[in-house]
Structure formats: structure tokens, C-alpha cells
């Protein structure tokens, strides 16, 4: 990692003493829920362990094999990742809270929130954030509830994030799961950023095919950021790399996608395939995340 202690803004940590595993017959909870709700309809999707595994070569094998938290930390040490941000489930936070308590110098978390569930969900989020300072942000996925980000259903969440002074992570771009995706056009954030100038919004998962719109929006709004999650470094959008090397050096954050993407592969491609300027690397790999997430 260029000799810089990196902060990975998106890697999934396992439950202590067990493995991250979607063994034969098991699925990612998102897959099971999306099947139950009728969102996933094609034959492949209902068989997948992960809702977007068709995009990530080898992810199925990694998920079935699993990894312990100790194994993951060893790989982080090997490639130079000092700290990772891991998702935490609001309906079952205990496994990740154990990780945060046991390895406070290695992990922070962001909490996945479903705005469809209304005020009880938001109150639970607020309680978790206030009682556990290592929970640094929340995340929403438009594809899960099939609502664009300027829909009224999100606005109580945005207001609560302003009060808590935490960023909100928003999936942008066509989603990996085979569901309608136009609602994740980043232009739907334009109104949100206008109405909530104090809200930090971090776009995740690439933004394609609207990566140019991502850049234009970041040029316009000082409170909008981008992280590189779910993209192998050799496939980072050219518009994003150009922006990071010029006016956007403080706006683009490094994120992998373990276990969807192999940590070692990401580190190797960062070294060999990403053409950031020397002065941009510390910002991209570390300093922007520290500032945006108050690490």
C-alpha cells in the first residue's frame, strides 16, 4: 500500500471464533430477504450465496471457505491495511460489536439502515451510534427498497444523521443484484445535498454508468464524497482517477470489498495499475477517511 498504513472503508469482518461463511445451502441475509420479498427472479440469483457474486470472480469460493477474524487481520497486516470499516447489522449487532471491542485499533463500523421500517429503525440506529462510538456512519441501499435517494422515505434518516453528525453511505450506479437500478443514479442526491448542506454523503460502489455525474456532483457540493468499494483497482473509472489527481484529491476514499474482492488482489492492483500522483496516495489511502469519518 505504497508504504502508507491504509484504511479500508469497506471490508466485512467475521464473527470472532468462527468464519465468514455462506456454506452449501446458506445465503447472504440480503439474498434470502430479497428472494422472500420477490425482488430476485432469475434462476441464477436465487441460487447465489451473495447477491452480486456474478461480478466477482472467486467470491463464491471465498465465501464458502470462510475466514476467521484472526486470518483476516493477518492478511490486513500483510498488505498494509491498518484499519477497516465493517458493516454492522442493526437487527443483530452483537457479533460485530464483539470485534469492535476486541480489536478497537483495527476496526470501525457503519450500520446498515432500512428507511422503509420507519422511526423504530431510526431510533435503533441512534441508540447504537450513541452507545458505540466506533460506529461511524450509516449506509442505505436504494436498490433494496426501490426508492431513489430524494424520495421522502429517506428524509427522516438524513435529518437524524445531521443530528448525530455522521455520514451516510449511498449505493450509486447500477446495482449488482439483478433488480431495477435507475433509482441509484447519483443525480437523485442533488436535491438531498442542497437541502442538507451539513450532511456528509459518501457514494459507494462505483457509480457506473454515471461516474461523470459523480464527479460533477462532487465539484458542485462540498459535502459529497466517493469511495472505491466493489471495484477492482484496475477497473476504477477513469473520470474518478482524473478527478482524484486534480481537484478531487480530498474527495476520493479507498475501499475494497472483502470477501467479494480478494484483499491481496486489490493491494497488488493498487500498486501496479492505479496512476495516482505521489501526493494523492496518502489522502486516498488514509487521510480522507480519517477526516470524513472522524477516525
Q: How far is CA 192 from CA 64, 149, 199, 223, in A?
A: 39, 8, 9, 11
DSSP assignment of 219-273, as one string? HH-TTEEEE-TTS-GGGS-HHHHHHHHTTTTTTEE----BTTS-HHHHHHHHHHH
pLDDT given at position 44: 76
Q: Looking at the predicted structure, is the pLDDT value of residue 168 above 70?
A: yes
pLDDT given at position 49: 63
pLDDT digits (tens, 9 = 90+) for 250-287: 999 999 999 889 999 999 999 999 999 999 999 999 99
pLDDT given at position 207: 96
Residues 6+ apart with CB under 8 A from 141: 112, 171, 175
Hey, is 33 helix, strand or coil? helix
pLDDT given at position 48: 67
Q: What percent of the chain has pLDDT above 70? A: 88
pLDDT given at position 24: 41
> Could you tell me the strand order of the sheet in which 135-140 lies?
6-8, 81-89, 107-112, 135-140, 168-171, 201-204, 224-227, 252-253
Beta strands in the chain (DSSP E): 6-8, 81-89, 107-112, 135-140, 168-171, 201-204, 224-227, 252-253
Q: Which three cell numbers stand for residue 126?
A: 441512534
C-alpha span between 139 and 151 (Å, rounded): 16
pLDDT band, very low/low/confident/very high, at 59 (cuts 50, 70, 90) = low
Paired with 8 in beta bridges are 84
pLDDT band, very low/low/confident/very high, at 190 (cuts 50, 70, 90) = very high
Q: Is the pLDDT higher at 25 or at 290?
A: 290
Q: Is the pLDDT higher at 37 or at 161?
A: 161
Cis peptide before 26 (omega within 30 of 0): no
pLDDT band, very low/low/confident/very high, at 216 (cuts 50, 70, 90) = very high
Q: Looking at the predicted structure, is the pLDDT value of residue 50 above 80?
A: no
Q: Which three cell numbers stand for residue 120?
A: 423504530
* Mean pLDDT of all residues belonging to the chain: 90
Which residue shows C-alpha cell 469519518?
Answer: 293
C-alpha span between 21 and 26 (Å, rounded): 8
Instruction: For the chain, list the domains and their CATH numbers.
Output: 6-290 (3.20.20.140)
pLDDT digits (tens, 9 = 90+) for 27-41: 566 666 777 778 888
Amino acid at each position: 500500500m505504497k508504504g502508507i498504513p491504509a484504511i479500508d472503508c469497506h471490508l466485512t469482518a467475521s464473527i470472532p471464533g468462527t468464519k465468514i461463511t455462506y456454506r452449501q445451502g446458506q445465503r447472504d441475509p440480503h439474498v434470502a430477504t430479497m428472494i422472500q420479498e420477490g425482488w430476485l427472479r432469475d434462476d441464477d440469483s436465487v441460487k447465489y450465496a451473495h447477491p452480486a457474486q456474478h461480478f466477482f470472480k472467486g467470491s463464491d469460493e471465498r465465501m464458502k471457505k470462510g475466514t476467521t477474524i484472526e486470518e483476516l487481520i493477518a492478511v490486513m497486516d500483510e498488505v498494509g491495511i491498518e484499519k477497516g470499516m465493517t458493516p454492522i447489522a442493526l437487527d443483530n449487532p452483537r457479533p460485530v460489536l464483539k470485534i469492535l471491542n476486541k480489536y478497537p485499533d483495527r476496526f470501525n463500523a457503519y450500520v446498515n439502515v432500512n428507511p422503509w421500517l420507519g422511526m423504530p429503525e431510526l431510533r435503533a440506529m441512534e441508540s447504537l451510534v450513541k452507545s458505540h462510538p466506533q460506529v461511524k456512519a450509516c449506509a442505505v441501499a436504494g436498490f433494496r427498497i426501490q426508492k431513489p435517494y430524494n424520495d421522502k422515505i429517506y428524509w427522516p434518516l438524513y435529518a437524524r444523521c445531521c443530528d448525530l453528525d455522521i455520514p451516510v453511505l449511498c449505493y450509486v450506479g447500477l446495482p449488482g443484484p439483478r433488480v431495477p437500478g435507475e433509482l441509484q443514479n447519483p443525480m437523485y442526491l442533488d436535491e438531498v445535498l442542497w437541502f442538507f448542506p451539513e450532511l456528509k454523503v459518501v457514494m459507494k460502489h462505483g457509480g457506473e454508468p454515471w461516474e461523470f455525474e459523480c464527479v460533477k456532483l462532487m465539484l458542485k457540493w462540498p459535502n459529497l464524497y466517493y469511495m472505491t468499494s466493489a471495484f477492482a483497482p484496475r477497473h476504477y473509472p477513469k473520470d474518478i482517477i482524473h478527478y482524484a489527481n486534480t481537484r478531487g484529491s480530498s474527495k476520493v476514499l479507498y475501499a475494497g470489498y472483502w470477501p467479494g474482492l480478494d484483499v491481496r488482489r486489490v493491494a497488488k492492483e493498487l500498486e501496479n495499475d492505479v496512476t495516482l500522483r505521489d501526493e494523492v496516495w496518502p489522502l486516498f489511502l488514509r487521510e480522507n477517511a480519517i477526516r470524513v469519518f472522524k477516525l
